[in-house]
Amino acid sequence: MTIQELLGKDLPELEVIDIHAHMNRPAQFMCPGDPDIDGMIAEMDRVGISRIAIAPNMAINCDVVLGNKMVLEAARQYPSRVMGLATVNFNDFEESMESLKSCFATSHFKGIKLHPDFMHYSVRESDKMRAVLDFAQEKNAFFISHTDERVIPGHLNLYSHPDWFEEYIRDYPQVNFLLAHCALSAEGYRTCLRLALEYDNVYLDTTGFRFSSTWTVQDLVRNGKGDRVVFGTDIPFNDMGSAGGRIILGHLSLAEKIKMLGGNAQRMLREI
């Protein structure tokens, strides 16, 4: 059954947008889903997802230039279904920025993706962050980054603590920031919630295994920020159907579910 059918309403106009996804199979993670674009499109059709924003694992893990080209090819193959997320690596910054410019010379890219934890760089590298955000502001692109607050040796306070985004969120009010995974911990979620409460350009997605699940979505609604929740699957690491269940089965009104499944993402993309 599709998301539209599971909602129990005749909603043919509902455009479900997966705003946080990947493609290709990385070596270090199990992928229960088909990581290739044709398989992803087939799964989108099965679940009822209209469009998907993709940052390939190739770009996040090892080769930004090749990965960005791969998602461009996927978007050209499925122009009405795939939105590109251009990945930037601070460790190879000049090449990354040239790739970023090439990506946005086309009409297929909507956002800029950072994954500091996989690539081992910190968002506190202010000059590089601001260069990326200057570009995002110029191109009217949204900004999406992995965020992580977990206490792991050699990890915490190195790369992507959500607190470290605040100065950029404040200084770039015209850029929409998507703080992916709600920082993967209860404390990280509280930081992300604070940022969403204080700044109009902060969005949070439903990806992650623990702290961006059903209760988080409902907590955001209770705090008056249901309009900042955007649907993401993190496919191929997660199943699209179960990712949708976090919204479909939540204690939410139908109007809230419709906004989270697509309307909020359309606003974040500045389509409405």
Domain boundaries, the chain: 3-265
Which CATH architecture is the domain 3-265 placed in?
A: Alpha-Beta Barrel (3.20)
**What's the burial of 162, exposed, middle or buried (CB within 10 Å: 0-12/13-18/19+)?**
buried
Task: Please give the share of the chain, as a percent, with pLDDT higher than 90.
Answer: 68
Mean predicted lDDT score pLDDT of the chain: 91
- The per-residue pLDDT for 136 is 98
- The mean pLDDT value for 98-102 works out to 98
Lowest mean pLDDT among 14-18, 30-34, 118-122, 151-155: 151-155
138: Cα within 13 Å, side-chain hemisphere: 10
Q: pTM to 2 decimals?
A: 0.94
Integer CA distances (angstroms), 218 to 20, 77, 201, in order = 20, 37, 20
Tokens standing for 7? 């909602």
Q: What is the pLDDT of residues 186-243, one digit of tens each?
A: 888 899 999 999 999 999 999 875 655 666 788 888 999 999 999 999 988 888 888 8
Q: At what angle do helices 214-222 and 186-198 cross, to 10 degrees?
A: 30
Give yes or no for residue 107 having a pLDDT over 60: yes
Helix H or strand E segment including 111: strand 109-114
Q: What is the pLDDT of residues 244-266, one digit of tens each?
A: 988 998 889 999 999 999 999 99
